[in-house]
Amino acid sequence: MVGVFYYNLDGSITDANDKFLKTVGYTREDLQAGRLNWEQMTPPEYRLLCEHTVAELKATGVNTPYEKEYIRKDGSRVPIIVGAAAIFDQTRDEGIAVVLDITERKKAEQALEKTEEARKKEIHHRIKNNLQVISSLLDLQAEKFEDGKVREAFREGQNRVISMSLIHEELYKGEGTDTLDFSTYLRELTENLFQTYNLSSKNICLCMDLEENSFFNMDTAVPLGIIVNELVSNSLKHAFSGRGKGRIHIKLRREENGERINSKEESKNEGCKSTSFILTVSDNGVGIPESLDLENPDSLGIQLVTTLVDQLDGELELKRNNGTEFTIRFTVAEKQ
C-alpha cells in the first residue's frame, strides 16, 4: 500500500490516507488542524529539488518520481519516493501525490554495501598475505647465494613486493576499500626501508613533510610506492658512501593552483575534480653521476622510476645541487 495526499501549491496538505499519515508519523487530528505541510516536512537539502518539481508540475501537470526524505513528526527522517500530479488554473491550485516508503529498501542497500566492503577488505587481506609469502620466499632464496650482488638483487625485489603489500594492508585497515591515505602509507614504507638497510642507515635521518588527507587509489598508489621505494633505497645504498651521516627528505604537497588537468585526464575522469601533487625525494649525499641520463638510464631502479612516472602521466625532474633531488609532478582525480 502506498501513501496518498492532496495538497495546495502553498505546501499545505488538505487530505491524506492512513498509510501516508503513518509514514510521516502524524495523526488525522494533526491533518484536520492544518499541521501538515509538505514544504515544512522537507529537509533543507531537498528544497531546490522541490522547487524544480513545482516548476515541472506547472509546465506539464505531472512530475518524474524521485527520491527524497521527509521529516517525521518526531524529528526523524523517512526515505521515500514521491510522484505528483497537479491542476493549475484560475480557480484551482492543487494536486495529488503518491508516496512510497522505501525504508526497508534503504536498509537492504546499506547491508549490501557493508557486505561488499567486507568482501573487498578480505580480498586486500589475502593479497597482502600472499605478497608477504612471496617476500619471505625471496628472502629464503637469497640466502642460498654467496654472491653479494645476487643477494642484493633479491633484496631489492623483496622490497618492491613489500611496497605493494603495505598498500593492501592500508586498504584493509582503512575505512574505505578503494583509496588509501598515502601519507600514512609512505611513513610505513620508509620505516620498513630503514629497517632493511639498518647497518648503513644508523646515522641517516629521515625528514618527512607530507600533505595530510591525500587519498589515492591503487592505480596511483602502487606506482608511486614503487617510485619512493626505488629512490629511498638508492639513497640508502649509495648516497652516503664514505660519510658518517646524512639526511633523506621526502615531501608531498598539493600544487599552489590546487587543480591542473589535461584533456586526456578530463575524458577519463568526468564528474571529478583533478588535483596536482608534487612528490620530492632528496638527499644531501654524494650525488648522482653526471653520466646518468634519465631518458636512457642504465640501472633497473631508475628505469622503473621513469617508466612508472610515464604510467602516471607525470613529469620527472632531477637536480644535482648539494646531493640529489628527484621531483615528480602528477595529477589525480578526486570525486567531488
Give the residue carrying C-alpha cell 494533526.
Answer: 30
Name the CA dihedral angle for 155, 158, 163, 166, rounded to a multiple of 10 degrees: -130
Q: In whole angstroms, what is the distance from residue 213 CA to residue 141 CA?
A: 39
β-strand partners of 266: none
Decide if pLDDT at 227 tops 70. yes
Query: Band of the pLDDT at 177, cuts 50, 70, 90?
Result: low
Q: In whole angstroms, what is the distance from residue 332 CA to residue 334 CA?
A: 6
Decide if pLDDT at 206 tops 80. yes
Question: How many CA atoms lie within 13 Å of 204's alpha carbon, on the beta-carbon side?
Answer: 29
For residue 52, give the C-alpha cell: 524544480
**What pLDDT, on a 0 to 100 scale, did the predictor assign at position 152?**
72
Work out the burial of residue 309: count CB atoms within 10 Å of its CB; fewer than 13 is exposed, 13-18 middle, 19 or more buried.
buried
For residue 62, give the C-alpha cell: 505531472
Give the residue carrying C-alpha cell 648539494.
Answer: 322
**What pLDDT, on a 0 to 100 scale, did the predictor assign at position 229?**
87
Name the CA radius of gyration of the chain, rounded: 30
| Cβ atoms of 223 and 184 closer than 8 Å | no
Decide if pLDDT at 203 tops 70. yes
Q: In whole angstroms, what is the distance from residue 247 CA to residue 172 CA?
A: 32
Decide if pLDDT at 280 tops 80. yes
Query: Band of the pLDDT at 73, cuts 50, 70, 90?
Result: very high
Q: In whole angstroms, what is the distance from residue 151 CA to residue 23 CA?
A: 70
Between these two residues, 149 and 209, which has the higher pLDDT value? Answer: 209
Decide if pLDDT at 294 tops 80. no
pLDDT tens readout for residues 16-47: 999 999 999 999 999 999 989 888 899 999 98
Q: In whole angstroms, what is the distance from residue 248 CA to residue 325 CA?
A: 10
Strand order in the sheet with 315-319: 204-210, 246-254, 272-283, 324-335, 315-319
Q: Provide mean pLDDT across the span 57-78.
A: 90
Q: In whole angstroms, what is the distance from residue 220 CA to residue 218 CA?
A: 5
Q: Report helix angle 182-196 to 148-173, nearest 10.
A: 150
pTM: 0.58
pLDDT tens readout for residues 78-132: 999 999 888 766 556 788 999 999 999 999 988 888 777 777 677 767 777 776 7
Q: Provide mean pLDDT across the span 145-153.
A: 75
**What pLDDT, on a 0 to 100 scale, did the predictor assign at position 102?**
93
Question: How many CA atoms lie within 13 Å of 266's alpha carbon, on the beta-carbon side?
Answer: 5
Reduced to 3 states, what is the DSSP secondary structure of residue 326? strand
